[in-house]
């Protein structure tokens, strides 16, 4: 049975932030580090670069971006409806648990990923994305419920920091099994690589229980679920949309977030696939070691980045800080276009890590601060998440389409630079108020 804690209490804030520790292992191991290596190795070992899907041939890089884009399209359609229902019946924790367990079980299911059963395998990957990102809708919506405005920047940054630290710890264990497989009684790196997917699912489920124990069920509504509840979700969305139109600052910020988040999330999701395919690695072992080094750099530097960004926002304001970070992203894209060697990629990874954790944490807390006083936080955060997800759909599709069209992922980086530049101009249009 959950324990009821006062809003703003240290234990409640820590319980909320700890969910980042639980679920971020998916983002690192599956989305960024080990699965991209595993995915690329499957194609290399089979001696193929393209695969027939629904009567057409698609290269392995664009294929995974299209599947990712499709998953986010489904998420963007589902989450507004689910958030409205969660606010209406007051049980957002149920939805948080459902998507958590869906993602964790799908992670475990990747153990059986193979080219021989590519449709089923990609479907499991598809559901893993839905589980991870779907749970974030309800996790993020808890922020204004558990923290007062003056606490939100710091606890949001703490959540990301815990996530980065926890995910690195599990990654190091997985890497030890893969790189030194003989120590663990394996005959090769293949089996421990697949076991790492199982460990992600177990870690996610086990550590999320601490958050589930202390987080409140939801708001004070106690209405029973009726057929009308389904339509109530659409009514809630219409009401929120009306409030967004009246709140110029919130509306303009959401538009800016939609644009620059498109770039941030696309970089997060494709960076490893880009490095695995486009860089001049001398051998497969160097590719594995190099990618892991770059991912660890991003994760460790991101802890510092989230903290520095929180301090910068306190001194300069949230919007000015976000503008500065977006300018750095533009410069990163310009440099990344010319990256060829692993050493150059390490430099890029370090800078990306510094701005990645910061922009995510600050974006979430800035939106939370701009919200009007309301109990329907899940509905408002569904708009935030839908903006992010639709942005990912567009960003991933554009990235994959250009890569498929030109035969190189490098060409797609130009589009990302333009996206971040547009984000700068849109943030400049957000009305200046103390944030």
Over residues 230-280, the pLDDT tens digits come to 566 566 667 777 877 778 888 899 889 989 999 988 888 787 778 777 777
Q: Average pLDDT, whole number, for the chain?
A: 83
Collapsed DSSP state (helix, strand, coil) of residue 51 = strand
Confidence of residue 88 (pLDDT cuts 50, 70, 90): low
Q: Which of 133-142, 181-190, 232-241, 288-297 has the lowest mean pLDDT?
A: 232-241
**pLDDT, mean of residues 53-68:** 80
Beta bridge partners of 58: 51
Report pLDDT for 146. 85
Among 44-53, 103-112, 214-223, 253-262, which range has the highest average pLDDT? 103-112
CA angle 249, 255, 257 (to 5 degrees): 100
- CA distances to 40, 137, 329 from 256, rounded to whole Å, are 34, 19, 14
> What percentage of the chain exceeds 90 in pLDDT?
23
Per-residue pLDDT averaged across 281-285, rounded? 75
Of the candidates 37, 200, 230, 50, the one whose C-alpha atom is nearest the C-alpha of residue 131 is 200
- 229, burial (CB in 10 Å: exposed 0-12, middle 13-18, buried 19+): middle
Q: How many angstroms separate the CA atoms of 291 and 280, rounded?
A: 12
Q: Are the CB atoms for 217 and 67 separated by under 8 Å?
A: no
Task: Name the band, by pLDDT with cuts 50, 70 and 90, for residue 225.
Answer: low
pLDDT score for 21: 94
In Å, what is the CA distance from 285 to each residue of 28, 45, 170?
20, 14, 21
Res. 220: pLDDT tops 70: no
- Taking alpha carbons only, the member of 212, 146, 187 closest to residue 12 is 146
CA 244 – CA 261 distance, rounded (Å) = 19
CB 330 within 8 A of CB 424: yes
Judged by phi (left if over 0) then psi (alpha if -120 to 50, else beta), residue 218 lies in: left
Range 110-129 average pLDDT: 93
> For residues 279 and 340, is the Cβ–Cβ distance under 8 A?
yes
Instruction: List alpha helices for 26-90, DSSP H.
Output: 34-46, 60-89
| Helix count and strand count (H, E) for the chain | 15, 2
Greater confidence (71 vs 296) lies with 71
Give the three-class secondary structure for 275.
Answer: helix
Residue 328's pLDDT is what?
Answer: 93
Q: Is the pTM above the cut of 0.85?
A: no
Q: What are phi and psi of 429, to 5 degrees?
A: -90, -5
With 90 as the cut, is the pLDDT of residue 130 above it? yes
Confidence of residue 435 (pLDDT cuts 50, 70, 90): very low
pLDDT value at position 207?
96
pLDDT of 119 higher than 50: yes
Indicate the SS3 state at residue 50.
strand
Mean pLDDT of the 401-417 span: 83
Portion of the chain with pLDDT greater than 70, in percent: 90
Question: E strand or H helix at 56, and its extent?
Answer: strand 56-59
- First and final CA of the chain: distance in angstroms? 37
Each residue's pLDDT tens digit, 299-333: 778 778 878 888 888 888 889 999 999 999 999 99
Task: Map out the domains of the chain with their CATH numbers.
Answer: 10-222+249-428 (1.20.1250.20)
């Amino acid at each position: 049975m959950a324990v009821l804690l006062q809003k703003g209490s240290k234990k409640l804030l820590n319980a909320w932030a700890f969910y980042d520790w639980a679920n971020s292992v998916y983002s690192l191991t599956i989305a960024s580090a080990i699965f991209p290596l595993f995915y690329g190795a499957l194609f290399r070992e089979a001696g193929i670069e393209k695969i027939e899907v629904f009567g057409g041939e698609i290269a392995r890089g664009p294929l995974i971006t299209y599947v990712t884009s499709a998953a986010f399209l489904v998420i963007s359609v589902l989450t507004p409806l689910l958030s409205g229902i969660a606010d209406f019946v007051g049980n957002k924790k149920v939805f948080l648990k459902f998507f958590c367990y869906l993602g964790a079980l799908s992670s475990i299911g990747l153990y059986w990923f193979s080219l021989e059963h590519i449709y089923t395998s990609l479907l499991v990957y598809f559901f893993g994305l839905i589980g991870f990102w779907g749970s974030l809708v309800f996790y993020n919506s808890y922020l204004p419920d558990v923290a007062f405005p003056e606490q939100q920047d710091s606890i949001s940054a703490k959540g990301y920091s815990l996530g980065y630290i926890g995910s690195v710890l599990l990654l190091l264990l997985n890497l030890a099994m893969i790189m030194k497989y003989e120590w663990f009684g394996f005959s090769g790196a293949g089996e421990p690589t697949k076991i790492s997917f199982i460990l992600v699912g177990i870690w996610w489920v086990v550590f999320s229980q601490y958050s589930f124990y202390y987080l409140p069920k939801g708001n004070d509504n106690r209405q029973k679920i009726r057929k009308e509840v389904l339509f109530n979700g659409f009514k809630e969305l219409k009401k929120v949309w009306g409030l967004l139109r009246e709140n110029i600052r919130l509306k303009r910020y959401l538009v800016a977030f939609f644009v620059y988040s498109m770039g941030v999330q696309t970089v997060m999701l494709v960076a490893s696939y880009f490095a695995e395919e486009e860089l001049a690695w001398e051998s497969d072992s160097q590719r594995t070691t190099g990618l892991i080094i770059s991912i660890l750099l991003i994760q460790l530097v991101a802890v510092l980045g989230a903290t520095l960004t929180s301090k910068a926002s306190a001194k300069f304001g949230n919007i000015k800080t976000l503008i500065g970070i977006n300018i750095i992203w533009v410069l990163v894209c310009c440099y990344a276009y010319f990256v060829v060697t692993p050493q150059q990629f390490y430099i890029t990874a370090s800078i990306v890590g510094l701005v990645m954790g910061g922009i995510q944490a600050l974006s979430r807390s800035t939106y939370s601060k701009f919200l009007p006083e309301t109990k329907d936080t899940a509905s408002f955060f569904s708009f935030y998440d839908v903006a992010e997800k639709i942005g990912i759909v567009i960003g991933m599709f554009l990235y994959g389409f250009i890569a498929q069209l030109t035969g190189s992922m490098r060409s797609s980086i130009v589009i990302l630079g333009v996206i971040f530049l547009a984000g700068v101009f849109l943030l400049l249009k957000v009305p200046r108020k103390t944030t």
